[in-house]
Amino acid sequence: MPSTPHVERHFTATEAVRDVVIGMSDGLTVPFALAAGLSAAVTSSSLIVTAGLAEVAAGAIAMGLGGYLAAKTDIEHFDAEVARELREIAEVPHREVAEVESVMRGFGLEGEPLERVVAAITADRDRWVEFMMRFELGIERPDPRRAFTSALTIGGAYIVGGLVPLVPYMLVPAVPDAMVWSVISTGVALLAFGAIKGRFTGMNLVRSAIQTLVVGGLAAGAAFGLAHAFA
């Protein structure tokens, strides 16, 4: 009987998704909270838009810079660990060989097969270091372009998310009406973003969507309540 070929589908762009989630979630909630808070204190939509755009610009730069520095730190940490492994291989090779043996025993190897595999791994220094980084420390080599890409992804996602609650204030002159539309548009965006995030992270779509909406709603409600209390 003809059989259907088994095709495995794995999602591999986890770092890009993480950056989008970081940027978009903050971009939707922080400017939304700011606009809601200002709506309780001012009567000018243009003022809210100006303040909101300033916050989006500053937030995108700050978030993008944070992503850049985090990615650079990962690269620096990896390089430092590689240097340490090279030093240990040179100074205490017997201990490093024992660590390779310990790792391979965890895969069920013993006796002559274990000796052959360990000898093959430790015969080449670069392969030895790569093995130790991956299987002893659990660290993969970071993409050297990761820092710049992460900064652009996080900053861009923040801008896209931040514009959603501000667009109604650009189109509707009356602040109360603009706020209603801002709540509706941001609520829909939070639900959609939460569902998409759940799709890529493996969470239940409904749970992820509601969770994202609740977090954004609480942030905006707190800002609105504080601004209304001190207005």
Q: What's residue 216's pLDDT?
A: 73
The whole-number pLDDT of residue 2 equals 46
Residue 208 CA: distances (Å) to CA of 21, 36, 191, 198, 218: 12, 23, 8, 5, 15
Q: How confident is the model at residue 12 (pLDDT cuts 50, 70, 90)?
A: very low
* Residue 63, C-beta contacts closer than 8 angstroms, at least 6 positions apart: 22, 23, 26, 154, 155, 158
* pLDDT at position 222 over 80: no
* Arithmetic mean of pLDDT, 145-171: 91
pLDDT at 17 over 90: no
User: Average pLDDT of the chain?
Assistant: 83
Average pLDDT over residues 47-75: 92
- pLDDT exceeds 80 at position 197: no
Contact predicate 116/88, CB 8 Å = no
pLDDT confidence bin for 19, thresholds 50/70/90 = confident
Task: Convert the pLDDT of each residue in 106-125 to its tens digit.
Answer: 878 788 888 888 888 888 88
Q: Where is mean pLDDT largest: 40-44, 47-51, 213-217?
A: 47-51
Which amino acid appears at position 153 of this protein? T
- Token pair of 133 as six digits: 């980084």
pLDDT given for residue 228 in this prediction:
64
Q: With bands split at pLDDT 50, 70 and 90, how would you rate the model's confidence at 6?
A: very low
Report, as an integer, the average pLDDT of 176-184. 90
- Please write down the HEC assignment for all residues of the chain: CCCCCCCCCCCCCHHHHHHHHHHHHHHHHHHHHHHHHHHCCCCCHHHHHHHHHHHHHHHHHHHHHHHHHHHHHHHHHHHHHHHHHHHHHHHCHHHHHHHHHHHHHCCCCCHHHHHHHHHHHHCCHHHHHHHHHHHHCCCCCCCCCHHHHHHHHHHHHHHHHHHHHHHHHHHCCCHHHHHHHHHHHHHHHHHHHHHHHHHHHCCCHHHHHHHHHHHHHHHHHHHHHHHHHHC
Between the CA of residue 225 and those of 29, 35, 61, 166, what are the distances in Å?
15, 12, 28, 19
Residue 75 has pLDDT above 90, yes or no: no
Specify the pTM: 0.74
Banded pLDDT at 167 (limits 50, 70, 90): very high
Residue 200 CA to residue 205 CA, distance in Å, equals 10
> Is pLDDT above 70 for 49?
yes
| Residues 56/170, Cβ–Cβ less than 8 Å | no
Q: What is the structure's pLDDT at 1?
A: 44
